[in-house]
Amino acid sequence: MNDGVEPVMIDLTDVFTTGMMFETRDELLKWARNVGTENGIVVVIFRSENATARPRTKTKSIIGYERSGKYRPWKNHNLTRSTWTRKCDCPFRLRGTRSSVGDGWYLHVICGLHNHELAKKLIGHSFLGRLSQDEKNVLGDMTKNFEKPKNILLTLKDHNVESLTTIKQVYNARQAYRSSLRGSRTKMQRLLTLMERDKYVYRYRKVEGSDELRDIFWTHPEAMTLVNNFHIILIMDSTYKTCRYRMLLLEIIGVTSTEMTFCVGFSYLQFERVDNFTWALQMVKEHITSGEVEVIVTDRDLALMNAVENVFPKALLIPHKESFVEAWTNRVMHFGNTTTQRVESAHWSLKRILQDSIGDICSVWETINIMIVLQHNEIIASFEKSIIQKVHRYSNRLYANLRGVVSKNAIDHIAAEYGRVKYVGIDQTECRCTIRTTHGLPCACEIARYSMTSRSIPLNAIHVWWSKLTFHVDASSKPSELSVKHEIDVIVKKFEELDVPDKISLKGKLREIAYPSTTSFRIGIN
């Protein structure tokens, strides 16, 4: 293979000539590869034969250079792919043969010639950059923790300074790792398996007349407990560019008594239309059983706003604007939430962890799942902080009934109002009582009356929302036990009345409910 270049012939026969006997074939290959690396070539197995494969053959391995052989074009000549080859028809060959006596192996040089210059640096040669099993384990752990590929590569090189792995091989190994987790299942089957494993609440629907996914909603089981504790206000917004499917991600969040954000639910929607938003919000509403949603904060998305009015007709809608008329928002108990800043911050956090917008729906779900678990840990810690920590500046009698019973954030708001007492006194006109309306907390004029009579603020002066410092819902607010016995009996009766084709159809639908990982749903690209 000349290509107009002056031919080169380099003889490495002496380098690979050895009288050593190797105990195993692996030891022979290791020795040959080490010698090759020292001399600027990459040694690979060209062909292997076993003595039992054909009569009169010996067990042997033919070893060559990674650029040995010729390029073989694709059989389909109509392909327009841009192709390349590293093959240069290098004649270099070694033969490893098993000893006729014992289990030893010998190495013989068939041809020690190379028709190319030897490499000065071997980085970029894919064979030498392959990951060992230990390195694959490190890569898998770091991939699960959402480390960037460049950080994974730096860690691998930190563990092995002689590593020749490239960033492209890290990307390929990450993809292989994720594919190994999914196995032979489709992405939708893998997603449902993950949600079943972690006991997520989820719903999905398909495009009419096909198996293509239309919309899907999911929520963490503990998120349902939280939203039933803190259901008064919901904040929602949608965003694109979270995965490769060009689907809209609707995120719905709530706020705890410690003023921490928690994710209520997520929904991938096929279109940004009223019907899609309405379906997702109905999924949320059916799981809020402890009370009504009173306030909803959204961006000025007309389709979402119309859907909110359809599903939550009694809720007051606060569309986020550049500036707000306080005279209007101050009439609503919104606990200080009048913008979509919280949900936009949640979008930013999610996209920062995702790193790119070309991942599949399973990787997005896994990211969200870890984000929610960490979020819940922080919320539990904030509850415990309000219960067990005593702030010294709140040690006077005024807060005696509140310490360890209501959120520390509520006491902070009351303390800020207490600072206004010396200017406002008990004059309601001067006080305006805004915090009583918006937060359900004593305003300056109320606090002045308690202070003048040396009384502590009673617990009933605080909205019950601020005293919820747990994930658990009161037993009295839990719905009665549900049963599906009647529905199952009806389905069995209907099944018996159907003909064979309809029985097969109904059985298939029930099978997808019983075994979600066998679903035929697929995720399309708009």
**Which residue ranges make up each domain of the chain?**
1-73+85-127, 129-183, 187-375, 389-477, 485-518
| Distance between CA atoms of residues 375 and 370, nearest Å | 8
| Distance between CA atoms of residues 253 and 371, nearest Å | 13
Residue type, 44: V
Q: What is the pLDDT of residue 52?
A: 63
- Please report where in the chains the tokens 């060959």 appear, as a residue: 93
Burial label for 281, CB within 10 Å (0-12, 13-18, 19+), is buried
Could you tell me the mean pLDDT of each successive run of 10 residues in the chain, 526 residues long?
64 85 86 85 80 65 80 66 74 84 83 81 75 87 82 87 84 83 78 88 85 89 91 89 84 92 92 92 90 87 89 77 52 80 82 76 86 91 90 84 89 88 83 86 88 88 90 57 75 80 76 72 62
Please check whether residue 29 is in contact with residue 61, taking contact to mean a CB–CB distance below 8 angstroms.
yes
Residue type, 438: T
> E strands within 288-338?
295-298, 316-319
Q: What is the pLDDT of residue 322?
A: 42
CB burial of 419-435 (b: ≥16 within 10 Å; e: otherwise) equals ebbeebeeeeeebebeb
3-state secondary structure 185-226: CCHHHHHHHHHHHCCCEEEEEECCCCCEEEEEEEECHHHHHH
| Distance between CA atoms of residues 64 and 39, nearest Å | 14
CA gyration radius, the chain: 34
- Closest by CA to 126, choosing from 167, 93, 69, is 167
Q: What is the pLDDT of residue 79?
A: 60
Q: Which CATH architecture has domain 187-375?
A: 2-Layer Sandwich (3.30)
Q: CA 293: distance to chain centroid?
A: 28
Q: What is the pLDDT of residue 80?
A: 57
Q: What is the pLDDT of residue 262?
A: 92
Is the pTM value of this prediction over 0.85? no
* Tokens coding 11: 């003889």
